Amino acid sequence: MPDPKRDAPHEEGERLQKALAAAGVASRRVVEQYIAEGRVTVDDRVAELGQRVRPEQRVEVDGTPVQLDAGKRYVILNKPTGVVSSLADERGRPDLTTFTRAYPERLYNVGRLDFDTSGLLLLTNDGELAHVLAHPSFGVEKTYVAKVRGRVAPAALARLRQGVELEDGPIAADAARVTGVSGDTSLVELTIHSGRNRVVRRMLDAVGHPVIELVRRRFGPLRLGSLGSGRSRDVSPVELGALLKLSRRAEQRAGRPARAEEDGTP
């Protein structure tokens, strides 16, 4: 006689160790060891070797989420200047389709970068994660490097960290430092979590150092690294785990009221 308790849950999905190996966590043998050691959970319960899982279930290894849905794509693009952060532009300017057409999935950008700003832009077909990462109420940190006019004094950096008054309200940098000086220009690294429109440019202008060039080097746990301008690459399993962890943390805080600002361009 069939045992419904044993058979029913195992008729659907894929074996856990196979799914985790396919997701790039480790080899199947290593994954089996993780499961045996109790390091893997499925929907917040300690997993069992051989159990089956479906793509929509929440699987974590050592507390880090794993994406089991092979249909989801996550891509880092180093957006060049002179490209609008949309899939179409009413003025006919170059847009992101130049880069997304290389992928079979229909990818969308998470947030935006200004036409004259280059750097890290995340492209994905994971709408739920995109919403969390782009919404300013969740406060995802972004780091920019700006080439600005003038030599930036410690007092200007202190003002950026303490907060400057803009036309749409005060704003403070999470971190600000000078990384280089050449002639009458400086390189300033600025970390913020705001999504206001052109906010980095406006902050630096407010302390007397207009931006000449601006690059986004980091978005949450993602870093641009040595990726060339106009080039793209898939997010690694480790980076994806960090992104999903960030997203799920934000979901736990989703009951808090969102700040009244929309994701803009720096």
Alpha-carbon gap, residue 174 to 156, rounded angstroms: 14
Instruction: List pLDDT tens digits, range 46-91.
Output: 999 999 999 999 999 999 999 999 999 999 999 999 999 999 988 9
Q: What is the pTM of this model?
A: 0.87
* Residue 219: closest CA among 119, 96, 131: 119
Residues of the chain with pLDDT under 70: 1-11, 251, 253-265
What pLDDT sits at residue 244? 92
Sequence length of the chain is 266
Q: Which domains are assigned to the chain?
A: 4-66 (3.10.290.10), 74-138+222-252 (3.30.70.580), 142-219 (3.30.70.1560)
The answer to whether 116 is a known catalytic residue is: no
Question: In angstroms, how far is CA 204 from the centroid of its own chain?
Answer: 24
What pLDDT sits at residue 122? 97
What pLDDT sits at residue 12? 80
What pLDDT sits at residue 261? 43
Residues contacting residue 255 through CB under 8 Å, at least 6 positions apart: none
Candidates 7, 43, 62, 114; catalytic one: 114
Which residue(s) pair with 211 in the sheet? 148
Helix, strand or coil, per DSSP, at residue 176: strand
